[in-house]
């Protein structure tokens, strides 16, 4: 779905970056599920131009989102600029999806995006998604720590790192040795 939307937007001359839960779904290998696709527009676009582009692939605007009669997924265009917390120096990457190159957050930025929801709204599901992203992709933990400190969330970052470490050690508390006969497989 993300590729189809990106292709329709590109055909209409609209630049946008996929963010939010859709990126987390991609980077968590589907362990995290989101039914909305958030695209941040990278230039001034008139509402009629956006409506026309989305209509080419069967989406109709309903309030502030676009729905399609044949899919539970919907598309939103949150107000920019592209940012994560107070950081607006985000450099999207391009990922090939089918025949389309989609601009989206990097794994590190997607992890930070989910952490921002955890830090600011105490959203435990977003913490879980950040951990899942970091389990499957190399993320820059130094950058995450520094950004977390600037966001005033060092304690929450410590929790993220603790949960991440426990997931990488099979669900045991970090530093705890497995007892005789205890399985070390992921739970």
What is the C-alpha separation between 129 and 123, in angstroms, rounded? Answer: 10
Q: Which residue in this structure is represented by tokens 């990457």?
A: 93
What is the C-alpha separation between 76 and 64, in angstroms, rounded? Answer: 7
CATH-assigned architecture of domain 2-104: 2-Layer Sandwich (3.30)
Using DSSP bridges, classify how beta strands 60-62 and 74-76 pair: parallel, antiparallel or unpaired. unpaired
What is the C-alpha separation between 43 and 23, in angstroms, rounded? Answer: 21
Degrees (nearest 5) of the Cα angle 98, 99, 101?
Answer: 95
For 7-65, write each residue's pLDDT tens digit. Answer: 999 999 999 999 999 999 999 999 999 999 999 999 899 999 999 999 999 999 999 99
What is the C-alpha separation between 28 and 119, in angstroms, rounded? Answer: 19
Residue 91 has pLDDT above 90, yes or no: yes
* 3-state SS, residue 154: helix
- Where do runs of H (alpha helix) occur along 61-123? 107-121
ω before 81 within 30° of 0 (cis)? yes
pTM: 0.88
CA atoms within 13 A on the CB side of 2: 28
Residues β-bridged to residue 84? 87
Residue 178 has pLDDT above 70, yes or no: no
pLDDT attached to residue 171: 60
pLDDT attached to residue 101: 95
Q: What is the 3-state secondary structure (H, E, C) of 39-74?
A: EEECCCCCHHHHHHHHHCCCCEEECCEEECCCCCCE
């Amino acid at each position: 779905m993300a590729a189809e939307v990106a292709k329709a937007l590109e055909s209409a001359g609209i630049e946008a970056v996929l963010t939010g839960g859709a990126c987390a779904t991609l980077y968590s290998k589907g362990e995290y599920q989101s039914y909305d696709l958030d695209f941040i527009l990278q230039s001034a676009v008139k509402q009629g131009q956006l409506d026309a582009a989305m209509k080419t692939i069967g989406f109709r605007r309903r309030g502030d989102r676009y729905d399609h009669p044949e899919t539970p997924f919907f598309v939103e265009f949150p107000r920019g600029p592209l940012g994560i917390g107070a950081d607006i120096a985000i450099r999207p990457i391009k990922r090939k999806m089918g025949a389309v190159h989609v601009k989206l957050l990097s794994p590190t930025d997607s992890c930070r995006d989910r952490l921002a929801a955890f830090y600011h709204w105490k959203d435990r599901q977003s913490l879980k998604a950040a951990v899942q992203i970091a389990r499957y992709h190399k993320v820059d933990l130094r950058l995450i720590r520094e950004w977390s400190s600037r966001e005033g969330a060092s304690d929450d970052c410590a929790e993220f790192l603790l949960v991440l470490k426990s997931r990488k050690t099979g669900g045991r508390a970090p530093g705890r040795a497995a007892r005789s006969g205890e399985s070390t497989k992921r739970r």
